[in-house]
Each structure stands twice: as structure tokens, then as C-alpha cells.
Structure 1
């Protein structure tokens, strides 16, 4: 098991963090693509489309070509939502990590480092909703290098956010993930996060049948306050 420590992000980490983020987005895109290809409606389209071509033309070469093109198109379409998410992140909070996460109190960005290598990342910002801005801290961009997963790095990064949130006086930590990120969902729930609701962020996510999941972790004092209401 690799020895690592968690510290605040520094500008010299930029390239490694961006590489890890890009690799994570590519991995999620591949997972979503596989998910789309396994859907019953996709399988029906992959069978029915070429069959319709054959019935219309009677040509096996054309049928095979149509099937291959349809498969490639669907496989790439499954990646579209994550490519859009990557572009959005790179034009917003990930465009300048120090500016968005380290320029004020109540937010931070951490890296897990081992011998000068960034193995994992996580960020935290006040919730965007005005009513919850000072009460809820939102977790972003939990990433761990594939080679170093299963070593407790992700858990340690999430716990760093939880400790930071409690120290800063937040009532809860919230986050958003997708239903196909099975390992992440399991980790969050084991650490005490609870699902609140699911929704589709855009039409592309809906067409890929991948809803987002919002989870929340209430600190003990907030839980007591909620029960007393």
C-alpha cells in the first residue's frame, strides 16, 4: 500500500491535477457508453436498424455496414454528456483552482500526494443555492488514480471535506454524482451520506438513462436540530 498525505492544492500541482481530472472524465465517459449500449432500447435499435436495412435492400454488406455505423454512433453518443461536463468544468471552477477554491474562507481544494505525485483530488465550495450558501458545503471532483484505488485514498479525501465542513461551521456536506458511479455511491453511503433525490441534468443525460443523485451528510448537531423541529 502506497504511503501518501493530504494537503492543500498548490499551483505547481496544476498539470497533474488536470491530467487526473481528464483521465477521470474519459473513464466516466467510457462507463456511460457501455451503460447506453446495454440498455434494452439500444439493443433493440442495434438489431432492428440493420434488419430494416436488409429488408429494404436485401444487401448483407450494406446491412453489416449500417450495423457497424450505428454501433459506433451510439457508442460515441454515450460519451457526449461527460464531454459536455468536462467542457463546463474547465470553463468554470477548474479553469483556475486557486481562484475558485482558495481565494476565500469556507472553501478549499486538496490533493493526495505520494513522493511528489498527485494520486487523488477533491474540492469543496459553499452550496450555490443562496438559502443554503452558509449552511451547506458542496463536494466536487473526487478523483483517485486507478492504480491506487482500494487503498483508502478516496475515503480519506471525503473525510477531509467532512472535517473541514464541520470546522467551518457548516450544517451539512452535499454532493452530486450519477447512478452509474457505483463505487463512489457505495463509498458515500458507507460514510453516512443519504440520497435525497434523483434528476436528469439535461436531455443528453436523459437519453443515456443516467440520472444524477444528490446526497447529503448532516453533521450530528444539525441532525439533532432537525429532529427537534
Structure 2
């Protein structure tokens, strides 16, 4: 028997939802940092700048100090895209979840609840300019608390969106997720989503090589 149930978002859930979403996004910073350290451009920076200092100043101590300054700077760079993303979400659709997701029959926001606690979320909004002849729903804000992963909550939340899309007459469900969010990427592939492309949000995400993967799930015709 499932230890959680899925229901529509209510205003009393807001603080728990925002806290879980924010913490979940920031969990990716260590992975992003390790990923950044292995990029050729980063290795060139970590080796090239200290070496240049040695050649100019003749001081190996200065080179070592430089590396100790570069590592915190790289941690900052790795974390900034995730922090920027959270800030953007909290100032746009998640500033007022009810207004953003529940004021239209064609959209929705759901939570997974376990023993009175919010342990998962997912939202969905209609795509404003879908391809000709298509009616698309975009999945947003899929998140599961770290203590409740591995229980099928994420899959159940995605299925909730897929069923909602079918009931509302959508032709496709689309979404974007970060390349480094491997758990989410694996989940979407396992549920039948198809990759349609990759992109970068801005120059910073390009520099740290954190791309977005675009997915689509075509729904069977009625």
C-alpha cells in the first residue's frame, strides 16, 4: 500500500513546497562543481593561470595561493545557475502558485503528501505557442524530498500530469530538465519521454556546461 497520496495544491502547503523545491535544486551544486572541475576549459584555467604566475613571478607559493582562490570561485560559478534558477522561479510562477497554476482548467499543481508532510510536487501549464495542430502541456517543478526518494513518488506525480493532459485533450506533454539531474533524466526516459534537443539558459550555464534537455511525450489520439 502506498505511503503517500497525491492531491491538488492548497495555500497551506506553500511554505513546505517552496522549502522542498529550493533545497532540492541546491542539492545539485556539488555535482555541478565536480562536473565543472573536469571540463577542459577549467583544467586549462587551473593549470594555466598558476603556471603563468610562476613564469612571471618565479614564485610557486603564489601559484598555490592562486589555486586556493580559484577553487572557491569555481564553486561559486557551479552554484550560481541553480541559485539563479530558484530565485527566478520564486519571483515568477512560484510566487503565487494558486494564481499561476490553479486559475485555469487547463493547468494544475499537485503535491504528494505523506503523514501530513509534503514530500513531492509537480505543476503543469499549457504551452503558449505550440507547433501547428498540437495542444501541448508543459510539466514543471517536479521535486521529491531527499528522504522520500525511491518510493515511486516522482513517477506517480508524472503519471498524474499525463492523465490530466489526456483528460484535458492535450496532444503532448513537454518538459525541460538539467543534464546533471540524472535521476530525472533516467525517470523520463523510462516513462517513454523522447528527447527533442538541448539548449543553454544563458552564457553562465554554457560556461559551466549545464545544458537543458528537452523532452516530449506524445499522447495517443482519442
Deviation at 1:60, TM superposition (A): 3.0
Quick check: 1:81–1:205 contact (8 Å CA) kept in 2? yes
Instruction: Give the gaps of 5 or more residues in structure 2.
Output: none
Deviation at 1:134, TM superposition (A): 7.3
Distance 1:159 1:63, change over 3 A: same
Q: Which residue of 2 aligns with 1:141?
A: 141
**Structure 1 CA distance for aligned equivalents of residues 25 and 124 of structure 2:** 19
Partner of 1:150: 150
Secondary structure in 2 matching 1:84:
helix
Aligned to 1:184: 184
Residue 104 of structure 1 aligns to a residue whose secondary structure is: coil
Distance of aligned partners of 1:68 and 1:2 in 2 relative to their CA distance in 1, 3 Å threshold: farther
Instruction: Confirm whether residue 107 of structure 1 aligns to residue 127 of structure 2.
Output: no
Q: Tell me the secondary structure at the aligned position of residue 3 of structure 1.
A: coil
Q: Judge which range, 114-123 or 202-211, deviates more.
A: 202-211
* Whole-angstrom CA distance in 2 between matches of 1:38 and 1:118: 36
- Corresponding residue of 2:217: 217
Instruction: Measure, in 2, the Cα distance between the counterparts of 1:32 and 1:131.
Output: 33
Q: Which residue in the other structure is 1:4 paired with?
A: 4
> Secondary structure of 2:192's match?
coil
Q: Tell me how far 1:130 sits from its aligned partner.
A: 5.7
Name structure 1 gaps, 5 residues minimum.
223-229
Number of equivalent positions: 222
Distance change >3 Å, CA 217–CA 152, structure 1 → 2: same
Other-structure match for 2:202: 202
Tell me: CA distance 1:32–1:128, structure 2 relative to 1, closer, same or farther (3 Å).
farther
Deviation at 1:220, TM superposition (A): 1.5
Distance between the aligned counterparts of 1:177 and 1:79, measured in 2?
A: 16
- Would the aligned equivalents of 2:130 and 2:136 in 1 still touch at CA under 8 Å? no
Given the superposition, is the C-alpha separation of residues 50 and 2 from structure 1 closer, same or farther in structure 2, using an over 3 Å criterion?
farther
The farther-off stretch of 8-17 and 122-131 is 122-131
Runs of 4+ in 1 over 4 A off after TM superposition: 130-134
Partner of 1:14: 14
Distance across 2 between alignment mates of 1:217 and 1:203: 29
Identify if the C-alpha distance between structure 1 residues 170 and 2 changes in structure 2 by more than 3 Å, giving closer, same or farther: closer
TM-score under structure 1 length normalisation: 0.91
